[in-house]
Structure 1
Amino acid sequence: MKLIQTAFKSRIASYRVHSENRYSDYNMFFESIKNKVIHLLSEVIKIHNAVKVIMELFGRYILQTQKIVNNKSFNTANKVIDSAADLNDVFYVFVDLMTTQMSEFEKRDSGWELQFIMYVEINLNKFCAFGGSSYKKLPSFIEKKKGIVNVHNQDQCCFLWAIISALHPVRERTLDVSSYPQFSTVVDIEGMTFPVNLRDISKFELRNNISINVHTLESNFENDKIVYRVVGPLYYSQKKLHICTYQFAANNQ
């Protein structure tokens, strides 16, 4: 498996999956890469909860009458996959879509004959569902350190709950919204919209006499495992007052 494109705009990543052998038989090829694909999807869903997936099958063809060799590809539409999906079933749905296109191409009297299947490209895109909670579960290795308060809010104001939890720390039930004062009684948010935009943070600082730094937790799938990196600051306060650090998972947005 090879990473061929990293995160860009709505794209999480693109991977190219090869078989260890050269096959001209669809079933043999897909069975040879099945475990790799399911493992990849499983690891990505652990990070993003839900993703949009496109698969594209590439084959090497020959036009015998003219002795021309060319590569042809057959792709699927976007399919949303979440943690509730049966990845084995999902895999075969994609297989059916790609092999049906390939078979139809070969039956059109085009003269092209399949020499061998080259690889499958898997494009993973962000999926942002409407509504729901803005709370994002942290990776287990961060949760175990108990160094970050990740309030379990059910609105779009995770930024504000992070600020309130820093200004009004509690010893018990640190993750519960009910443990903290309502943010509207503590900070001035008039005219602001949420989820907050980075460009509005300086306005928030000025109104509330507070300093904020923003970092992001970036996640990638490398060498068959999830790798996390702290990136930033995306926003660094120019004010030297009470400092709150707000951290979010970039690839979960």
Structure 2
Amino acid sequence: MPLGKCGFCPKKKNQKTQHHCEDCNVPVSGEHRDVKEKVLNLCRVVMDDFKSMKCQLKLLLFFKQLTKEEYKTSTFKTKNTIITESSDLEEIWNELSTKVLREMLDFELKDSGWSMHAIGGVELRLFKYEPIRCGGYLPTPKFLSQKSLINIQNTDDKCFKYAMSSKFLPQVLNRNAKQRLRNVNKLTSRYNWDGLTWPNNMDDLVIFENNNEGSAVNVYTIDENKTVTFPLYFSNWDTLSSNIIKYNNISRENRVFT
């Protein structure tokens, strides 16, 4: 039975059915003919349960040596892409499939003499995504109490706002005074907070830096085991950075910026 598109290339009007996709020359089988719709439908079903998720597309391809009867397999995959309920699945599919096809074509050009022979399989990996959000107040743990930290005693979810604004506190204030909300609250207007959500996730840090040119943020995480890990967020701005610690209180399931 004659088949049409491979499922990866954008559709064209008046597409004629054939055994090879006219756009990328991928041999088409019935199993992969409707791969796009299958992927999108699966994403919709999983999204109803996950609400937000990470998606990765993997493509197993068989390549044939043009000068002799020799075959080999190669796997091409995309990076994890975050999908939320407001995401355009069609647009995400086009981005992922384009990346996979570009890698395939680069492979053919790099490994001269090999040509794509057939699709071995398409794998869609979906992972539940729970954005890390930080907010509230936690007392400074004892092992950090002697460090040069300012931990604002707030009662809302805007600890990031207060942590950033605390850099403007007068140096003449003692440590206890610097940690009082009333002293830092009047300094928050020095930054543009438009577009941020409260409590914050890591995406909000990018928004903050874009809102405030020249302001850079580095976030380090530390847990109850007194372990400082690699930076959770590291600014791309080449400027003086504000270094913030995100403290995880596992027993209270809370995270704060200090």
TM over 0.5: no
- State the structure with bigger RCO (CA 8 A, min sep 6), 1 or 2: 1
**What is the TM-score when the length of structure 2 is the normalising length?**
0.41
**What is the TM-score when the length of structure 1 is the normalising length?**
0.42
Which of the pair has more CA radius of gyration? 2
